[in-house]
């Protein structure tokens, strides 16, 4: 799949120009195929812009429509890039919702997280977008999203050589408002 508005060759030439500016020998053998590889990698890393969220969130009719307890997917891998430095954000995500008649396949939660992660992001927005998509398309009683991630732009620069994690949460509906539901979700996410 192509990045919107940017043909392959255009992206490759941007990378060629970047190499000429950052490397002291940009014509060496090891960098020969780098522009094509990097262009391909960025099309993947930004592939989330092209995911149709409504299509992805199509409701799954399997007889579980009357299930009304918390559904939780824990430790979904998150690979994103920060929009300030284009540096990797690497982490994991726990997504929970309490259905109100509409349920989706569990793997869809992984794909939802991936669709928003594979964009240029800030962690707070990534977390909210996942929660808001579930609210919009499933109208559940409650949603909880918990993201824990490392930011290479923070860790690799300056004096902050740390592997500390940044945690963000987005709570909606009864998981936000009811103490017991909120505590249940946060305990599951942190465990
Ligand atoms: Zn950054």
How many whole angstroms from 156 Cα to the centroid of ligand 1? 10
- Would you place residue 5 in the very low, low, confident or very high pLDDT band (cuts 50, 70, 90)? low
Which of these is catalytic: 83, 124, 136, 165? 83
CATH fold label, 57-190: GTP Cyclohydrolase I, domain 2 (3.30.1130)
**139 catalytic residue (yes or no):** no
Q: Are 16 and 35 in contact (CB under 8 A)?
A: yes
Read off the pLDDT of residues 152-161 as tens digits, 9 standing for 90 and up: 998 888 666 6
pLDDT, mean over the chain: 91
Q: Are 84 and 153 in contact (CB under 8 A)?
A: yes
What is the secondary structure of 57-77 as a DSSP string?
T----SS-TT--SPEEEEEEE
**123 catalytic residue (yes or no):** yes
**46 catalytic residue (yes or no):** no
Between 164 and 134, name the one with better pLDDT.
Answer: 134
How many whole angstroms from 170 Cα to the centroid of ligand 1? 21
Q: What are the domain boundaries of the chain?
A: 8-45, 57-190
Position 65 pLDDT exceeds 80 = no
Q: Is 85 annotated as a binding residue?
A: yes
Go through the chain and tell me how many residues it has.
191
- Would you place residue 136 in the very low, low, confident or very high pLDDT band (cuts 50, 70, 90)? very high
């Amino acid at each position: 799949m192509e990045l919107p508005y940017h043909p392959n060759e255009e992206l490759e030439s941007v990378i060629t120009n970047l190499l000429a500016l950052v490397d002291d020998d940009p014509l060496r053998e090891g960098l020969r195929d780098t522009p094509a590889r990097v262009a391909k990698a960025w099309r993947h890393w930004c592939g989330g812009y092209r995911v149709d969220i409504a299509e992805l969130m199509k409701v799954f009719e399997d007889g579980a429509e009357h299930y009304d307890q918390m559904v939780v997917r824990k430790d979904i891998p998150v690979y994103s890039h920060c929009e300030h430095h284009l540096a990797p954000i690497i982490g994991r995500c726990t997504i929970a919702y309490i259905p109100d008649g509409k349920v989706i396949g569990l793997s869809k939660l992984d794909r939802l997280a991936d669709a928003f992660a594979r964009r240029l992001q800030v962690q707070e927005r990534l977390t909210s977008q996942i929660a808001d998509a579930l609210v919009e398309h499933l109208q559940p009683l409650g949603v909880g999203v918990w993201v824990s991630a490392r930011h290479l732009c923070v860790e690799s620069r300056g004096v902050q050589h740390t592997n500390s994690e940044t945690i963000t949460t987005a709570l909606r509906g009864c998981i936000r408002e009811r103490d017991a539901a909120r505590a249940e979700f946060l305990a599951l996410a942190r465990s």
